[in-house]
Structure 1
Amino acid sequence: MKFTQEQDILQRYKSQINIDQIFSHPESLPFQLRIYERNEVILQEGDTLDGLYFQVDGRTKVTSSVETGKALLLRFCHPLAVFGDIELMQKVVVQSQVEAVTQASFLFINKHTIETELMRDYKFLTELSRHLAYKLQTCTTASRINLLASVEERLASYLLTIRLQHDFGKEIQTPHIHEVASLIGTTPRHLNRVIQKLSDVNMLRKDKKKIVVIDWERLDELSNGLRYE
C-alpha cells in the first residue's frame, strides 16, 4: 500500500466524487489517498477498523469466509463504493475481505476524525445511510434468490440482471464460471451442468469462457421475474 497527502492529487479525486455533496466541511478533514496494487488486501476479516475507505479508482472484490477456509464472493466494487460503514456503525471488527482486482485508490479518513467530527455532520450521515441501505437491499435480494430459487432460475436471473447494467448488475458481472457460481450460491460443477442443460435446448451456449444467450425471452420466462437488484 502506498499513500499520499499531496493536495493537488487529493483535490482531483475530491472533485471527481463531488466531495461537497458528502461532507459539510471537507476542507477541514485530514484525507489521505491510499493506493493498493492488484491482489493486495485492503481490509481483512477480523481486523480492527482504522477508518472509512471511499473507493475513487479501480476495481475491488468483496468476499466473506467461514472457519473452514471457504470464501463466498459477494460483489465487485467500483467508485464510489464505501468500506467500513457497517463496522463503524455496529462497532465490530471488519466483516468482509476487500481485495484489489486492479490497482485501486481510496480517499481514507481515520476513525478518530469520524467519531469526533463527522458523527454530527448531516451530509455525511445521509451519505452513509444511503450506502448502508443499498448494501442491505442488494444483500437481502441476493440471499432470498439464492435460498429460494433453483440454480436454473438463479442463472437466468443473473444473466438478465447483468444485461440491464444497473449498479448491482455491474457489481456482480464476471466472465469466470467459478465466480458466477459463487455469486449465485452453487458450485462450478453444478453450474456447468445447468449451462449444458440450457445449451441442449438452445437457450444459451458456452463460447470458450463466455456464456452467450441465444433466447432472452425464454430465459426471462425461466427466471420467473427474479432479478439480483
Structure 2
Amino acid sequence: MSPDYYQYLDLKEIPKGEHLLLQGQQLTQVYILLKGKVRTTHITSNGSTHLYSISSPLTLIGEVEFMSRQDVQNDVFAMTDCECYVIDVIRYRDVFMKDLVFMTYICTTIANRIHVATQNFSISVNFPVENRLASYMLAVEQGDIVEENFVEVAQMIGCSYRQLQRVIKHFISLGYIEKVKRSVYHILDRSALEELGEDLYFT
C-alpha cells in the first residue's frame, strides 16, 4: 500500500488456536499475516469441513469479502502464534478503496487465491490419501512435529478416519514418521514425504 496509508494499520498478536475469521460472520477486519501460519477451511451445509489452504507470511486475509462486501466465506484459524497488521474495515474500507497500490495488490491476491483453490481441490480429488496426508503433514509441521486433530484432518483432506489411520500406520512402518503421543507425530524421513507431497496445500 502507499505509505500514506500506514497510519491506518494496527499491529495485533493472535495466539495459536484463535480464529481470525469465522464463516458466516460480517467482515470487520482484514489481516496482513506477518508471522505464523493459518489454515483456511470451509464447512458445507452437511457439516463436512474442507481444506482450502495453509498460509504463511506475507498473506492477505479477508480480501475477497473486502471487495464483495459479503459475509465471511471460510473459517481462518491460527495454527501457530501469529502477528498481523489489521485494517478496520468498518472505519477504513472507503479509504483503502482509493489506494491504487493496495487495490492492485488485492486483485493479484484474489487471482492467486483462485489458482490455489483450484490446485488444492485437484489434490483432494485426484491424489491418493498417501499423497494428501504427506502434503498436509509438510504444510503444518513445526520443527518436524505434527500435532493435529486427525479426525478433522481426515475430513479436510477428503478421506475417512479409518483410511487416514491406515496410512499413518503405513508411514510409521516405512520409517517416515514416528508416534510421539496421541495425535502427535515426529517426521523422520522428510525427503520421503516431500516426494509424496510434491503438490502442497499452500497459498
TM-score (norm 1): 0.66
Instruction: Work out whether residues 45 and 95 of structure 1, in 8 Å CA contact, stay in contact via their aligned partners in 2.
Output: yes
Q: 1:214 to 1:117 in 2, by over 3 A?
A: closer
1:166 match = none
Q: Which runs of 5+ in 2 are unaligned?
A: none
Q: 1:78 to 1:149 in 2, by over 3 A?
A: closer
DSSP-derived class of the 2:188 partner: strand
Q: Distance in 1 between matches of 2:160 and 2:186?
A: 17
User: What stretches of structure 1 move > 4 A for 4+ residues in a row?
Assistant: 197-200
DSSP-derived class of the 2:77 partner: strand
Q: 1:50 to 1:153 in 2, by over 3 A?
A: closer
Deviation at 1:144, TM superposition (A): 0.8
Q: Which runs of 5+ in 1 are unaligned?
A: 1-21, 163-168
Deviation at 1:132, TM superposition (A): 1.8
2:26 match = 48
Of all paired residues, the percent bearing the same amino acid is 23
Q: Distance in 1 between matches of 2:80 and 2:176?
A: 30
Deviation at 1:183, TM superposition (A): 4.6
Letter of the 1:212 counterpart: L
Instruction: Work out whether residues 205 and 211 of structure 1, in 8 Å CA contact, stay in contact via their aligned partners in 2.
Output: yes
Q: Which moved more, 1:52-61 or 1:119-128?
A: 52-61
Instruction: Work out whether residues 32 and 107 of structure 1, in 8 Å CA contact, stay in contact via their aligned partners in 2.
Output: yes
DSSP-derived class of the 1:25 partner: helix
Letter of the 1:47 counterpart: Q
DSSP-derived class of the 1:146 partner: helix
1:150 aligns with 2:123: no
Deviation at 1:136, TM superposition (A): 1.8
1:111 aligns with 2:89: yes
Q: Distance in 2 between matches of 1:77 and 1:134?
A: 12
The superposition leaves residues 6-32 of structure 1 with CA deviations (integer Å, 9 ceiling, x where unpaired) of xxxxxxxxxxxxxxxx325224x4222
1:8 match = none
Q: How many positions carry a matched residue from both structures?
A: 192
1:23 match = 2
Deviation at 1:212, TM superposition (A): 3.5
Q: Distance in 2 between matches of 1:152 and 1:192?
A: 11
1:210 match = 186
1:137 match = 115
Greater RCO, CA 8 A, separation 6+: 2
Q: 1:30 to 1:24 in 2, by over 3 A?
A: closer
Deviation at 1:47, TM superposition (A): 0.8
1:62 aligns with 2:35: no
2:64 match = 86
Q: Distance in 2 between matches of 1:126 and 1:140?
A: 22
1:185 match = 158
Instruction: Work out whether residues 41 and 156 of structure 2, in 8 Å CA contact, stay in contact via their aligned partners in 1.
Output: no
The superposition leaves residues 38-73 of structure 1 with CA deviations (integer Å, 9 ceiling, x where unpaired) of 333322111111232222334433322134444334
Q: Distance in 1 between matches of 2:18 and 2:97?
A: 30
Q: 1:113 to 1:189 in 2, by over 3 A?
A: same
2:169 match = 196
Instruction: Work out whether residues 24 and 124 of structure 1, in 8 Å CA contact, stay in contact via their aligned partners in 2.
Output: no
Deviation at 1:203, TM superposition (A): 7.3
TM-score (norm 2): 0.72
